[in-house]
């Protein structure tokens, strides 16, 4: 779908319903000063728009939209359905959730609705429809913002019924459910659908301090799938209603990086554009934020996304809500753009006077005027984004390397009891991503479902859950010449968390050319070492393995490295198998970042991957490309200046308009963007 905006989106959550009318005029003046072009309105306004079941109050929103129109602003319009109004909770208590402990929630908080409540769904579609009908011809409407940060779980009786229906349609019969969950274990054979209850603290999960501990992984896994689908259904119902009235306005809902409960790869096809909220903490490694951006871009196979929320200064909900350092907000905004965002939006434009977010940063502070450090920085960012015009819109971030991230795999691993609670899927994935990041090699985050034809190198850390289809895709990828790597515990279970009986790594045994016989666990302070024995790869030296290590037998693969010590001393720690015209690697232990980086370097050299120049500490490089041209982003995350060498084709820096002549000096926390000589608009 073609996006209706012509410049980078700049603005964010704006809650004028919390303020008297005269403040709105002042806001317009301040927005103009800050180059804000797109406020997001209405996100938490349900109780102001619908004060009672049959009563609507759109007058204030009409006035607001008029005012924005007169001030030539575009609008991202919320459907307001993330927090139910008090009257609804009182009159229709089924809209409220039952929590993990089995407690019926009362009115309060937000994100408090049961996704399978018929009343909630009806009211949500109702208000979405009213808004769409009323504002369908409003010229500034560029984006629908459905609900807000969908998430959480419900365990109410309606969800239980809906879960049984969901199971019926997924498995067809109760026999099949019994089979995939292996219910002969612990006397769980179900003879009636109604015997199945949601897995929570009252049923399969016993430990309030370890909510992942479940007696039945298959059941808990399916409940997660079901909950993600239930919330998605709420989104789709509103989306469909909006589309009936405004088919040309893109619809989205805002995501939260690696938010565990929702399988964003399943959600992504239902969104016209991916939008997300980035809240790094003080000390967050910029590589981690880069991973989040790469994941969000990967959700729709490389389509540009929108950074819909970030704080201009500080949050209120962290333990220590430090300010971003001077220049840090602009740098983080540019990092989003560097990874594929066509926006840099805030939560929030004006700081609330009361409520739990009163200490959350905003463009306009409590003092109400523009003479603040934060406002000044926001104004500067607005000017810079405006300066890009339409040059970057829709451009892509070409990558020949991919990292697989799989939500269901993550759920299944964490629900598994044993072998070690230190196994950390996300950390393992991030470690390999950082290997690429640290060498300026563009990398995409992708899914098991995606098309991998653009990749020459594919890394699937801890891909424990492998369906027959995924195994076939991996085999095809390697046979066709790709370089593939997976790790310990790879291929151990199928999509229902049933362990392979074909010998680990199950479906991947032939392509990897190994059999992993057994796994030993390392205590937190323990490690094994392994030494690369193969002279050809550049992964030389001795390395550490942590958490677990496996005894692997070669079945066609070669041992690239063997353990120096531990119970499996002398056996392979890293293997490589030639398969078709490609190669498949396996690391039998959790390697440190040093090894991951060396492996990436080796694979990149073998595959001939493009790099964006020599890596300097704390300096990040990315590239975006479109038919308009190529754009090189160089981000200095250091608090000292750096000089970078540049190819001659990167001659103009777009923000400062300074020319680069084979090199450029970046100030502390400066983001520089270079347009290729051939770029038409610059
Ligand atoms: C989330 C929400 C916003 C706001 C911010 C505060 O991202 O979507 O409504 O609460 O957090 O950081
Ligand atoms: Zn429910």
Most informative mutation of 82, 146, 148 for ligand 1 (most atoms within 8 A of CB): 148
- Kindly give the distance from the C-alpha atom of residue 116 to the centroid of ligand 2, in angstroms, as a whole number: 5
The CATH architecture one would assign to domain 9-154+227-388 is: Alpha-Beta Barrel (3.20)
Say how far apart CA 246 and CA 129 lie, in whole Å. Answer: 10
Residue pair 595/530 in contact (Cβ under 8 Å)? The answer is no
Judge if the beta carbon of residue 153 lies within 6 A of ligand 1. Answer: no
Tokens of 26: 């002042």
pLDDT value of residue 539: 87
Helix (H, G, I), strand (E, B) or coil at 296: helix
- The angle formed by the CA atoms of residues 488, 490 and 495, to the nearest 5 degrees, is 150
Nearest ligand by distance to the CA of 160: 2
Q: Which residue has the tokens 């895709």?
A: 473
- Tell me the per-residue pLDDT of 287-330, one tens digit each, with 9 for 90 and over: 999 999 999 999 999 999 999 999 999 999 999 999 999 999 99
Is 647 marked active-site?
Answer: no
Tell me the C-alpha distance between 635 and 151, whole Å. 33
Question: Is 309 assigned a catalytic role?
Answer: yes
Task: Provide DSSP, 427-440.
Answer: HHHHHHHHHHHTTT
Return the CATH fold of 619-676.
Immunoglobulin-like (2.60.40)
CATH number of 401-607: 3.40.50.880
Between CA 70 and CA 62 the distance in angstroms is 12
Instruction: Check if 309 has its Cβ closer than 6 Å to any atom of ligand 1.
Output: yes
Question: Which is the closest atom of ligand 1 to the Cα of 317?
Answer: 12
Using alpha carbons, select from 655, 39, 15, 32 the residue that is nearest to residue 346: 39
Hey, where are the domains in the chain? 9-154+227-388, 157-223, 401-607, 619-676
330 in Cβ contact with 381 (< 8 Å) = yes
* pLDDT per position as a tens digit, 339-384: 999 999 999 999 999 999 999 999 999 999 999 999 999 999 999 9
Closest-lying ligand 1 atom to the alpha carbon of residue 315: 12
Give me the DSSP letters along 561-614: EEESSSTTTTSEEEEEEEETTEEEEEESEEE-HHHHHHHHHHHHHHHT----S-
DSSP H helices, 485-555, are 509-512
Asked if 9-154+227-388 and 401-607 have one fold, the answer is no
> What residues does the ion ligand 2 have nearby, CB within 5 Å?
114, 116, 154, 156, 159
Closest CA to 463 of 418, 512, 529: 512
Distance 355 CA to ligand 1 centre (A): 13
Which residue lies with its CA nearest to atom 12 of ligand 1?
Answer: 315
CA dist 626 and 629 (Å) reads: 5
Which residue ranges of the chain lie beneath pLDDT 70? 679-682
Residue from 149, 153, 204, 241 carrying the catalytic annotation = 149
Would the CB of 315 count as within 6 Å of ligand 1? yes
Q: What angle do CA 32, 38, 44 make, to 5 degrees?
A: 115
pLDDT recorded at residue 441: 98
User: What is each CA distance from 430 to 408, 426, 674, in whole angstroms?
Assistant: 17, 6, 28
Q: Which of 110, 149, 308 to mutate to test the pocket of ligand 1 (most atoms within 8 A of CB)?
A: 149
Marked catalytic residue, from 153, 241, 309, 507: 309
Q: Look up the pTM and report it.
A: 0.98
Find the 456 Cα to ligand 2 centroid distance in Å: 44
Q: How far is the CA of 347 from the centre of ligand 1 (A)?
A: 6
Token pair 């819109």 is found at 393
Determine the distance separating the centroid of ligand 2 and the alpha carbon of 608, expressed in angstroms.
51
Q: In whole angstroms, what is the distance from residue 344 CA to residue 309 CA? A: 7
Using a CB cutoff of 8 Å and minimum separation of 24, what contacts does 28-31 make?
28/67, 28/68, 28/71, 30/363, 30/364, 30/369, 30/370, 30/375, 31/71, 31/73, 31/349
Q: Which of 512, 505, 509 is nearest to 491 (CA)?
A: 505
* 257 within ligand 1 shell (Cβ under 6 A): no
Give the Å distance between the CA of 422 and the centre of ligand 1.
Answer: 30
- The finding on whether 347 has its CB within 6 A of some atom of ligand 1 is yes
Residue-level pLDDT at 682: 44
Cα–ligand 1 centroid distance for 4 (angstroms): 25
Which tokens hold the place of 567? 């119970």
Nearest CA residue ID for atom 11, ligand 1: 347
Write the CA distances from 112 to 79, 148, 670, integer angstroms.
16, 11, 41
* Through-space distance between the first and last CA atoms of the chain, rounded to whole angstroms: 26
């Amino acid at each position: 779908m073609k996006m209706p905006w012509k410049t980078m989106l700049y603005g964010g959550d704006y809650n004028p319903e919390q303020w008297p009318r005269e403040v709105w005029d002042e806001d317009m003046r301040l927005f103009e000063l800050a180059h804000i072009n797109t406020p997001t309105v209405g996100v938490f306004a349900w109780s102001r728009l619908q004060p009672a079941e049959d009563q609507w109050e759109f007058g204030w929103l009409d006035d607001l939209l008029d005012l924005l129109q007169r001030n030539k602003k575009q609008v991202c319009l919320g459907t307001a359905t993330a927090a139910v109004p008090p009257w609804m909770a009182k009159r229709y208590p089924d809209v409220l959730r039952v929590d993990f402990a089995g407690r019926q929630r009362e009115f309060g908080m937000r994100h408090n609705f049961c996704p399978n409540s018929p009343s909630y769904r009806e009211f949500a579609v109702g208000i979405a429809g009213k808004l769409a009908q009323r504002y369908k011809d409003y010229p500034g409407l560029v984006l629908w913002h459905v609900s807000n940060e969908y998430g959480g779980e419900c365990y109410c009786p309606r969800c239980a019924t809906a879960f049984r229906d969901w199971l019926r349609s997924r498995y067809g019969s109760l026999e099949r459910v019994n089979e995939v969950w292996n219910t002969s274990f612990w006397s769980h054979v179900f003879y009636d659908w109604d015997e199945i209850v949601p897995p929570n603290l009252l049923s399969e999960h016993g430990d309030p301090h370890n909510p992942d501990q479940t007696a039945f992984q298959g059941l808990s896994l399916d409940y997660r799938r079901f909950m993600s689908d239930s919330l998605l259904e709420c989104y789709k119902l509103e989306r469909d209603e909006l589309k009936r009235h405004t088919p040309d306005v893109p619809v989205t809902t805002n995501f939260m990086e690696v938010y565990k409960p929702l399988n964003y790869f399943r959600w992504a096809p239902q969104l016209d554009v991916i939008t997300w909220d980035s809240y790094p903490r003080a000390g967050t490694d910029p590589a981690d934020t880069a991973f989040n951006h790469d994941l969000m871009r990967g959700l729709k196979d490389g389509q540009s996304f929108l950074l819909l929320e970030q704080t201009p200064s500080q949050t209120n909900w962290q333990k220590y809500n430090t300010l971003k350092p001077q220049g840090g907000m602009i740098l983080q905004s540019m990092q989003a753009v560097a990874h594929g965002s066509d926006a840099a939006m805030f939560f929030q434009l004006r700081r609330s006077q009361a409520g739990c977010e009163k200490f959350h940063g905003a463009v306009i502070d409590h003092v109400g005027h523009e003479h603040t450090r934060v406002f000044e920085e926001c104004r500067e960012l607005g000017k810079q984004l405006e300066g890009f015009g339409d040059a970057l819109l829709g451009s892509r971030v070409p990558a020949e390397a991919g990292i697989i991230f799989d939500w269901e795999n993550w759920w299944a691993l964490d629900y598994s009891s044993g072998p070690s609670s230190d196994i950390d899927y996300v950390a393992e994935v991030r470690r390999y991503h950082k290997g690429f990041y640290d060498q300026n090699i563009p990398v995409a985050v992708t899914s098991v479902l995606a098309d991998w034809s653009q990749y020459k190198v594919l890394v699937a850390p801890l891909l424990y859950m492998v369906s027959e289809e995924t195994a076939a895709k991996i085999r095809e990828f390697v046979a066709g010449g790709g370089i593939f790597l997976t790790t310990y515990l790879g291929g151990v279970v199928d999509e229902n968390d049933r362990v392979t009986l074909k010998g680990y790594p199950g479906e991947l045994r032939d392509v990897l050319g190994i059999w992993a016989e057994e796994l030993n666990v390392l205590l937190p302070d323990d490690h094994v070492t392994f030494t690369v024995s193969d002279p050809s790869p550049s992964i030389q030296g001795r390395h550490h393995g942590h958490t677990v290590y496996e005894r692997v037998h070669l079945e066609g693969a070669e041992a690239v490295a063997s353990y120096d010590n531990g119970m499996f001393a002398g056996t392979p720690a890293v293997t490589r198998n030639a398969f078709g015209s490609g190669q498949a690697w396996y690391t039998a232990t959790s390697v440190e970042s040093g090894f991951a980086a060396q492996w990436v370097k080796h694979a990149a050299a073998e595959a001939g991957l493009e790099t964006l120049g020599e890596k300097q500490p704390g300096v990040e490089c990315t590239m975006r490309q479109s038919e308009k041209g190529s754009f090189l982003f160089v981000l200095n995350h250091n608090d000292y200046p750096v000089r970078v060498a540049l190819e001659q084709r990167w001659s103009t820096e777009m923000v400062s308009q300074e020319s680069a002549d084979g090199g450029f000096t970046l100030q502390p926390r400066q983001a520089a963007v270079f347009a290729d000589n051939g770029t038409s608009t610059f």
